[in-house]
Structure 1
Amino acid sequence: MEMKMRCVCLVLGLVLLMTVSSDSEPHGDGHPVECCFSFSDIKIPPKRIIKVEKIYFDCPKPGYIVTTVKNKFCKHDIKELTI
């Protein structure tokens, strides 16, 4: 019984050590950081737009991320931005 407990503790310790020393990242190289799954119909005045970024090609839905002073919006098309 004591030997089984030592083996279990040794295995759990090794798994914990492997987990802590892992070099993996939540988003590995080549994976998108931001994707849009729903899109806004709001018209955004050009003077409020800080940045427009195209969504990565491997996201499930194509579009753009529009950053304003207060929020980020997902848009299907950049023609929809102005009033």
Structure 2
Amino acid sequence: INEATVSAAYLIERNIPSNKILIENWSLDTIGNTYFARQCIIEPMELHPLAVITNDFHMARTKLIFDWIFSLSTSAIDRS
């Protein structure tokens, strides 16, 4: 079981509707999480704004990574 599936189960147990949870399970690290979330979920579904949920320990690093990946032009993201 991957981290995304466990996290989704945690949210569902806390009454977050499953249809409101999007799972990115292609990546192996936070940079990959952000890249694949943008490429495969956020851009194709035109999801704006979005919420990123992480713990306090990872928040600063996660924000920097999301700011970096989302500052790239969409032409820099391979859509193949």
How would you bin the TM-score normalised by the shorter chain?
Answer: under 0.3
More helix as a share of residues: 2
More strand as a share of residues: 1
Structure of greater Rg: 1
TM-score normalised by the chain length of structure 1: 0.23
